[in-house]
Amino acid sequence: MAVGFRMERMQTTGPWLFVGAGNMAEAIASGGLAAGVIDPGSLSGLDPSPSRRAPFERAFTESADAAAWLEAQGPRAGLVLATKPQMFPVVCEVWRPVLDAGPSRLVVSILAGTTSAAIAAGLGPNARVVRVMPNTPIRVGLGMTAICPGRSAGPDDVDRVETLFSAGGKTLRIDEGLMDAFTAVAGSGPAYVFYLADAMLEAAQQLGFDREQALMIVRQTVNGAGALLNGSPETPRALRQAVTSKGGTTAAATSVFDESGVHDAIVRGIHAARHRGAELARG
């Protein structure tokens, strides 16, 4: 069980069929199981890879078998689309006929750059679409997930999705127009932290620490700083200023950062990520 998952008993949300059972699907499912919002017997996955199917109570390699399982669970059973975005045309080819032939179903999509309107158009009128964007810390129960209901999704659909993803961290309901911005800040955000940590690691080794020592120092520093930020009412800037004495060692470092335009470069980078997300959404 991943560290950080909340263990209080919550209302179950399933049944769920994950179409695509990669790392993110495994993290979502594991969080739901640990928090009690998914019953193990109501969880299944569809993926060609045996290793990826391992965490799921029922695993399928064939879409027809997965579709039969879904139909047997009744109209409450939902689909979670967790494939790569470029696989969406294949997903539509397989699952549009299944949805057309059955009752209206909740379809949750974590496909980056694929709008709820595009998903609804591809899967047809029986798909009640809710688009979500989790980030990778959901794997340790500390994710940040945006939730955007499509036009056909009802309040109960959104509540079910919120309950499922809250098991792996925090959730925020946003307008879909902000999804590319959310992806740029939170979806890609862990990579920015890792970018900083990588530079800290390199500097630590240059200053004389061996790699094992440097990794421990950097990991605990980033972990502690994140916990301090999360537990404090202060802004990141205020927290930084609190440990930056005039003429001190921290000021010497941040002066170099400022002279090199690091702060502004990060802001520009996030804008670039948002712009790229919008481009991908347009195809």
Query: pLDDT by residue (tens digit) across 164-188?
Result: 999 999 999 999 999 999 999 999 9
pLDDT in tens, 83-104: 998 999 999 999 999 999 999 9
CA 184 to chain centre: 12
pLDDT at 113 over 90: no
Residues 31-49, mean pLDDT to the nearest whole number = 90
Pair (152, 228) in one structural domain? no
For residues 48 and 168, state if they share a domain.
Answer: yes
Task: Kindly state whether residues 123 and 244 are assigned to the same domain.
Answer: no
Q: Indicate whether this model's pTM tops 0.85.
A: yes
Rg of the chain over Cα atoms, rounded to whole angstroms, equals 21
Mean pLDDT computed over every residue of the chain: 92
Please indicate, yes or no, if residue 7 is contained in any of the structural domains: no
Asked whether residue 171 falls in the same domain as residue 56, the answer is yes
Among 157, 179, 201, identify where a domain stops. 179
Say how many domains are in the chain.
2
Pick the last residue of a domain from 179, 210, 227. Answer: 179
C-alpha distances (whole Å) from 14 to each of 6, 46, 197, 279 are: 18, 16, 38, 34
Contact 167, 133 (CB under 8 A): no
Domain co-membership, 153 together with 201: no
Whether the Cβ atoms of residue 93 and residue 118 lie closer than 8 Å to each other: no
Statement to judge: residues 23 and 121 lie in one domain: yes
SS3 137: helix
pLDDT exceeds cutoff 50 at 2: no
For the segment 120-163, what is each residue's pLDDT rounded down to a tens digit? 999 999 999 999 999 999 989 999 999 999 999 999 999 999 99
Tokens 């179950």 correspond to what residue? 12
H-state helical runs in the chain: 23-35, 50-53, 63-72, 88-101, 116-123, 155-166, 179-182, 189-206, 211-231, 236-242, 249-259, 262-282
Q: What percent of the chain has pLDDT over 90?
A: 81
pLDDT number for residue 8: 44
Provide the pLDDT confidence category of residue 54 given band limits of 50, 70 and 90. Answer: low
Per the structure, the complete domain to which residue 258 belongs is given by 189-282
Average pLDDT rounded to a whole number, residues 105-121 = 95
Residues 219 and 172 in one domain: no
The helix/strand/coil state of 154 is: coil
Do 80 and 135 belong together in one domain?
Answer: yes
